Amino acid sequence: MNKFVDVLIVGSGVSGLYCALNLRSDLNVLVVCKDKISCTNTYLAQGGISVARGIEDIPLYIEDTLKAGKYKNDVEAVKVLTSESMDNIKQLIDMGLKFDRNDDGSLNFTKEGAHSINRIVHTKDNTGESTANILIDNVKHRENIAVYEYTYFIDIIERENECIGAILIKDDEQINVYAKSVVLATGGIGGLFNNSTNQRILKGDGIATAVKHNIELKDINYIQIHPTAFYDKEIDDKRLLISESLRGEGGKLTNISGERFVNELLPRDVVSEAVYKQIKETQTPYVNLDIRFLGREYIINRFSSIYEECLKRGTDITRECIKVSPAQHFFMGGIKVDLNSLTSMKKLYAVGESSCTGIHGANRLASNSLLEGLVFSRRAANLINSEIDNIENKVSVVKNIDKPLEKLSRENEELVRNTIKSMGGKLDDELLSHR
**Which of 119, 239, 247, 268 is the catalytic position?**
268
**DSSP track, 148-182:** E-SEEEEEEEESSSBEEEEEEEETTEEEEEEEEEE
What is the per-residue pLDDT for 286? 96
pLDDT digits (tens, 9 = 90+) for 61-73: 999 999 999 999 9
SS3 content of the chain, % helix, strand, coil (to 5): 35, 20, 45
Q: How far is CA 16 from the centre of its chain?
A: 11
Q: In the β-sheet with 355-356, what is the strand arrangement from edge to edge?
A: 217-218, 334-336, 355-356
pLDDT given for residue 80 in this prediction: 98
Q: Specify the CATH number of the domain 2-222+330-422.
A: 3.50.50.60
pLDDT in tens, 402-433: 889 999 999 999 999 999 988 888 775 444 44
* Of 32-36, 44-48, 73-77, minimum mean pLDDT range: 44-48
Which residue in 136, 17, 107 sits closest to 374, CA to CA? 17
- Is 268 an annotated catalytic residue? yes
* 78 to 81, 170, 321, 371: CA distances (angstroms): 5, 38, 37, 11
CATH 3.90.700.10 in the chain is located at 225-328
CATH class of 225-328: alpha beta
Length of the chain: 435
**pLDDT of res. 113:** 87
Instruction: Give the span between the Cα atoms of 334 and 206, in whole angstroms.
Output: 8
pLDDT tens across 140-161, in order? 999 999 999 999 999 999 999 9
Amino acid 234: pLDDT: 73
- Nearest C-alpha neighbor of 81 from the set 404, 379, 322, 317: 379
Q: What 3-state DSSP class applies to 31?
A: strand
Query: Which residues of the chain are in CATH 3.50.50.60 domains?
Result: 2-222+330-422
State residue 156's pLDDT score. Answer: 98
- pTM greater than the 0.75 cutoff: yes
Per the DSSP assignment, residues forming a β-bridge with 152 are 169
Confidence (pLDDT) at 434: 38
Mean pLDDT of the 226-242 span: 88
The span from the CA of 378 to the CA of 417, in Å, is 30
**pLDDT-derived band of residue 235, with 50, 70 and 90 as boundaries?**
low
**Cα 196 from chain centroid?**
13
d(CA 274, CA 245): 18
pLDDT of residue 266: 92
Tell me the pLDDT of the chain averaged across its residues.
94
CA distance 408 to 239: 26
**Residue 293 pLDDT exceeds 60:** yes
Cα separation, 246 vs 255, in Å, equals: 17
pLDDT in tens, 363-406: 999 999 999 999 999 999 999 999 999 999 999 989 899 889 99
Q: Is 380 helix (H, G, I), strand (E, B) or coil?
A: helix
